[in-house]
Every structure is written in C-alpha cells, then in structure tokens.
C-alpha cells in the first residue's frame, strides 16, 4: 500500500507538475525512501501518535484471545506481537498496573516495526499499513480516504444480529439499522482515528458478549467509565452506534 501511495503521488507530480508546492520537500525517489520519510512524518504527527497510543491501550485492556482476531494486531511483526501479548497477560492477571505502562516506549516500538523488513518463503516485505497509518498518510499528504471499511459494517451487523438473537434472514435489516449510525459517527468525528477507535471498541464489546453469553458482566457497561467515555461516549455518534447494535441506556 505504501508503494501504491508513492506511485500515485509520483504519477500526479509527473503529469501535473503544477501540483507541487514550492515549500514542500521533493517526493522520495523510491518507495523504500518514501516509507522512511512517511514514517518520520507520522512520528512527528501528534494526532497519529495519540491514535497509536489509544490503540495500544485498547489492546492491553481486552481478553488476550481476542487480540489475534484484530486485523491491525495480526499483521504486526512477531517480535512486537510478543511484547504486546506479554504485557496484556500481565495486565489481565494483575501483575502490571496499566497506568504505569510506558506507552511512549510502546509507541516507538510500534513506529520502528513499520520499518522492520520481514521475510516469508524467501520474499521480503514490510508490515502492511493499518487504517491508522493510511489515515495519517492521507492527512499529511492531503489525500482523501474512506476510513471505515465495509467489513466493519459486516462485523458489527453480524455481532448485533447474534446478540439480539435475530435470524440470519433478518441480517439485512440489522445492517440498515447500523449503517446510518456508522455514517453519522464518521461524519461527526473530529478525525477519522476517533471513528475507527469507536468502531473497534463496539466490536470488542459485541465479541465479549458473544464469546461469554452466560457472563452478564459483559452485558453492562458503566457509562461513566473513563475508558468507555474516551473511546465511545464522548464521540459524537458513539452512543447512537451502541444503541444501533442493541445496547440500551438505563438509569440506575
């Protein structure tokens, strides 16, 4: 994907040189150089660093079994996966205080992994870009990108259908209920990382319920919980998305 972005920008500047802004540095001569330049720009981008930090906090807060079901975690280099899994297990077992985790160091490890060359069956490759990276690239290089994938709608609709015991035949109805809430969330979010974070969090809530149907603790979420407020509650459209998948707000 990084190669595709570089190739697209190179072609635009080749055929439409007037698009080049004088004060901007020259585009890298190769996809490899472009990756290094782009990662350095993302490292300096406060919004991107905060989004990565929030993602890491989320990974440490969920059940370890769910981690490998998350696409952006699954594609990490094995070395970084091991670090996150070890920390997750320490946090979940009470052996580590989440507030004392050095997240800035974790963010740096994550950034370094973007430049870590991997090898499979004799072929070398880099870690595929996640949506956080794609969004940061689009912001930095002023490219427009649709952030919430169709698969997010599919996953949320499927989880909502199963949680509410709706038949597979009625899944299209569930999709029609969820889609407007997803669209509203994306439109109202101050940045697309916020929308992505809220979607991922709601998916985790649904998965927790579906994986532990007899454990009622997953069916109740404290609206005042700091983590919930940061990831979903304070985002415009976040609570509406929760309602669209079947959660109801109750006053105790």
Query: Which tens digit of pLDDT belongs to each residue from 78-101?
Result: 888 899 999 998 888 888 788 888
Over residues 14-53, the pLDDT tens digits come to 766 766 666 666 777 777 788 888 889 889 989 899 999 9
Residue with tokens 């809530």: 205
Contact indicator for 201, 57 with CB cutoff of 8 Å: no
Exposed/middle/buried for 152, CB within 10 Å: 0-12, 13-18, 19+? buried
Q: Kindly report the average pLDDT of the chain as a whole number.
A: 74
The pair of three-digit structure tokens given for residue 220, joined into one six-digit string: 């109740």
The pair of three-digit structure tokens given for residue 121, joined into one six-digit string: 């069956």
- Count of structural domains, the chain: 2
- 186/204 same-domain check: yes
Quick one: pLDDT at residue 250?
63
Distance of alpha carbon 123 from its chain centroid, rounded? 27
Q: pTM for the complete prediction?
A: 0.52
The pair of three-digit structure tokens given for residue 151, joined into one six-digit string: 């698969």
Separation CA 73–CA 89 (nearest Å): 15
- 57/154 same-domain check: no
Range of the domain at 104: 2-140
- 14/79 same-domain check: yes
- 117/211 same-domain check: no
């Amino acid at each position: 994907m990084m190669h595709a972005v570089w190739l697209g920008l190179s072609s635009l500047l080749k055929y439409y040189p007037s698009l080049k802004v004088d004060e901007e540095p020259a585009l890298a001569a190769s996809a490899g150089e472009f990756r290094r330049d782009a990662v350095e720009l993302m490292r300096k981008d406060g919004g991107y660093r905060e989004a990565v930090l929030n993602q890491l906090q989320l990974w440490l807060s969920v059940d370890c079994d769910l981690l490998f079901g998350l696409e952006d975690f699954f594609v990490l280099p094995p070395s970084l996966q091991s670090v996150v899994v070890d920390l997750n297990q320490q946090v979940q077992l009470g052996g580590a205080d989440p507030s004392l985790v050095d997240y800035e160091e974790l963010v740096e490890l994550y950034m370094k992994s973007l430049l870590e060359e991997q090898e499979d069956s004799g072929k070398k490759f880099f870690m595929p870009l996640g949506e956080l990276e794609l969004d940061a690239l689009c912001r930095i290089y002023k490219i427009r990108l649709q952030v919430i994938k169709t698969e997010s709608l599919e996953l949320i609709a499927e989880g909502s259908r199963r949680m509410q015991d709706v038949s597979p035949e009625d899944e299209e109805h569930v999709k029609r209920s969820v889609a407007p809430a997803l669209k509203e969330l994306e439109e109202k979010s101050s940045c697309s990382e916020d929308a992505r974070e809220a979607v991922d969090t709601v998916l985790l809530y649904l998965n927790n319920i579906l994986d532990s149907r007899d454990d009622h603790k997953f069916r109740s979420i404290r609206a005042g919980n700091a983590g919930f407020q940061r990831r979903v509650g304070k985002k415009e459209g976040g609570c509406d998305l929760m309602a669209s998948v079947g959660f109801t707000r109750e006053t105790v």
